[in-house]
């Protein structure tokens, strides 16, 4: 008989389990109204949103030229189905927006459960999950800034991609280039996901063949990040949304 560490509503549990099964969260459209930037935070697969993520599912934060800025406000919206985050434009050259989510999940004969190994019997798999969504808002459309908030980072060479050219992203783990990192790249106009890996220099390159938003997802599992009675490994997923013109 399993004992839960904390009581979860069904929507929260559904969303966390889908995170474990491969759903992503990403930062979608960006705009500005009345001196406020807005960014939509969505959750689903292949840039098709599912229901909005629960309030306690993820933590939004923003950086400006001087470091951490005040946390954005948020509200649930229906179109697109997700969260709308807003923050004041105070004139920074670059804003870097993140959603950061952390959870621990285990599996046993009864299925997936949120919590550590000590909370359940006969656990056959356990992992901590760090899921991050990122978007850069650059005033000149070129400068990507240099903010690296997440343990696993995706760093573009420019804030906007150019159609017809090759785009190169740096994949970093704990501040260092990460070779052989699993990368998934997608554009709404594509039928299929592009599955690739970062090179020995920690960089991944792909062809920008059409305009619109691209999502570059990096994944890495660190088996040294474990706690004996909690989880066996830590899985990191970071999704950068970046536009192309």
Tens-digit pLDDT profile for the chain (245 aa)?
233 333 444 444 444 444 444 567 889 889 999 999 999 988 766 566 666 666 666 789 999 999 999 999 988 887 777 789 999 999 999 999 999 988 777 777 777 667 676 777 777 777 788 889 999 999 999 999 999 999 999 999 999 999 999 999 999 999 999 999 999 999 888 888 899 999 999 999 999 999 999 999 999 999 898 777 777 788 899 999 999 99
For residue 156, what are the contacts with CB-CB under 8 A and spacing of at least 6?
A: 136, 144, 167, 168, 169, 170, 216, 240, 242
What values do phi and psi take at 202, rounded to 5?
80, 15
In a domain, 100, yes or no: yes
Look at residue 38 in the predicted model and tell me its pLDDT.
Answer: 94
Look at residue 117 in the predicted model and tell me its pLDDT.
Answer: 66
Beta bridge partner(s), residue 227: 231
In a domain, 110, yes or no: yes
Q: In which domain, by residue range, is 33 found?
A: 10-244
Look at residue 238 in the predicted model and tell me its pLDDT.
Answer: 95
In a domain, 3, yes or no: no
Query: What tokens does 47 get?
Result: 């840039």
Look at residue 43 in the predicted model and tell me its pLDDT.
Answer: 74
Smallest CA-to-CA distance from 28 within 53, 48, 9 is with 48
Asked if residues 217 and 185 have their Cβ atoms less than 8 Å apart, the reply is yes
- Domain count along the chain: 1
In a domain, 230, yes or no: yes
Look at residue 133 in the predicted model and tell me its pLDDT.
Answer: 94
In a domain, 187, yes or no: yes
**Owner of token pair 């993140």:** 98
Look at residue 95 in the predicted model and tell me its pLDDT.
Answer: 98
In a domain, 166, yes or no: yes
In a domain, 109, yes or no: yes
Query: How many residues can be counted in the chain?
Result: 245
Note the pTM of the prediction, 2 decimals: 0.84
| Sequence-ordered strand ranges (E) for 2-124 | 24-33, 36-45, 48-49, 59-64, 67-68, 73-77, 82-88, 94-108, 111-114
Look at residue 1 in the predicted model and tell me its pLDDT.
Answer: 27
Look at residue 199 in the predicted model and tell me its pLDDT.
Answer: 96
Look at residue 24 in the predicted model and tell me its pLDDT.
Answer: 74
Look at residue 126 in the predicted model and tell me its pLDDT.
Answer: 78
Look at residue 55 in the predicted model and tell me its pLDDT.
Answer: 66
**Owner of token pair 């190994």:** 117
In a domain, 2, yes or no: no
């Amino acid at each position: 008989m399993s004992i839960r560490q904390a009581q979860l509503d069904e929507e929260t549990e559904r969303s966390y389990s889908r995170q474990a099964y491969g759903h992503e969260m990403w930062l979608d459209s960006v705009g500005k109204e009345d001196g406020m930037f807005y960014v939509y935070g969505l959750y689903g697969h292949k840039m098709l949103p599912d229901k909005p993520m629960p309030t306690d599912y993820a933590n939004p934060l923003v950086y400006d030229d001087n470091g951490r800025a005040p946390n954005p406000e948020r509200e649930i919206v229906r179109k697109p189905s997700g969260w709308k985050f807003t923050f004041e434009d105070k004139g920074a050259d670059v804003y870097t927006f993140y959603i950061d989510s952390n959870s621990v999940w285990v599996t046993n004969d009864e299925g997936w459960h949120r919590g550590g190994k000590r909370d359940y019997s006969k656990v056959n798999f356990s992992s901590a999950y760090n899921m991050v969504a990122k978007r850069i808002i650059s005033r000149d459309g070129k400068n990507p800034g240099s903010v690296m908030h997440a343990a696993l980072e995706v760093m573009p060479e420019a804030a906007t991609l150019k159609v017809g050219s090759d785009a190169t992203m740096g994949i970093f783990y704990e501040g260092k280039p990460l070779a052989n990192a699993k990368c998934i790249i997608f554009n709404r106009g594509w039928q299929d996901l592009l599955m690739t890996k970062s090179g020995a220099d920690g960089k991944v390159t792909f062809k920008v063949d059409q305009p619109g938003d691209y999502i570059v997802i990096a994944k890495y599992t660190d088996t040294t990040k474990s706690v004996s009675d909690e989880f066996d490994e830590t899985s990191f997923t970071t999704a950068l949304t970046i536009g192309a013109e």
